[in-house]
Amino acid sequence: MDLASLEFFKKQQKVEDGVASWLKAIADKYVRAGDNIIVVDKIANKFPQYLASKNTQVLTISPTLIESSNDEQDSIVHRQGVFPLASDNDLWQADKKYDFLFCVDFLMHISEHRIFEMLHQFQKILKVGGYLALSTLRGIANLDKKSRDEHGVLYCQREIDQYQLVLERLGFDIVDQTSEQVAQDDENAGFREVVIAILETRIDP
């Protein structure tokens, strides 16, 4: 994530209320009790709590640092950070593999030359047989010629097919894909594309 976008999201301290229906639908269909899950998001919200209610262990990684409440600390860990992760990040040192990774409306803030690195890191973190759910927004209005909004946040509006090609190269199999209109009164008005993939085999590119 570039510096201007990162600095904007770091300042977002408010936790969003509620959980989006499309995220609930994915969790209800694919998440299993006992799963170890990573949620990569740009701002804090209630989705990790929803996942934890399914008897899972959740690690959230976001530019915004939110402290866990006492009743969450056993099942949810919040870390301030941003993908792609540095090679000395302690997540690599732990050598732990995860069952599921949610990347929520995040890749559109990553410049073109970092996309492969980020998706490759997702592949290295997941278990073989683990799931990746990633979403992106397109059709966002009021961006300048450099694809930035009024806050200077970068929006690279790639088609979901571009991510699918990289995922297949890394050993993922696409199992589901959806697209939905985003409400026009939303600041990110446009439409959201979601792809669900399973890591069939770990290919080292």
Provide the pLDDT confidence category of residue 188 given band limits of 50, 70 and 90: low
The architecture of the domain spanning 3-192 is 3-Layer(aba) Sandwich (3.40)
Report which of 51, 78, 83, 85 is spatially closest to residue 64, judged by C-alpha positions. 78
Most confident of 45-54, 68-77, 169-178, 184-193: 169-178
- Residue 140: count of CB within 10 angstroms of its CB: 18
Q: How far is C-alpha 47 from the chain's CA centre?
A: 12
Using the CB atoms, write b or e for 45-63: b if 16+ within 10 Å.
bebbbbbbebebbbbbbbb
| Residue 108 in tokens | 């559109």
How far apart CA 32 and CA 165 sit, in angstroms, is: 27
78-133: per-residue pLDDT in tens? 887 777 788 777 777 667 899 999 998 888 888 888 899 999 999 999 999 999 99
Task: Give pTM, 2 decimals.
Answer: 0.85
pLDDT confidence of residue 187:
53
Helix, strand, coil percentages (3-state) for the chain, rounded to 5, are 25, 30, 45
What's the rounded mean pLDDT across residues 168-176? 95
Q: According to the model, what pLDDT value does residue 50 have?
A: 92
Which strand (E) or helix (H) includes residue 125? helix 115-125
Strand order in the sheet with 36-40: 76-80, 57-62, 36-40, 98-103, 126-138, 190-199, 172-182
Enumerate the domain spans of the chain.
3-192
Handedness of CA 8, 11, 17, 20 (dihedral sign): positive
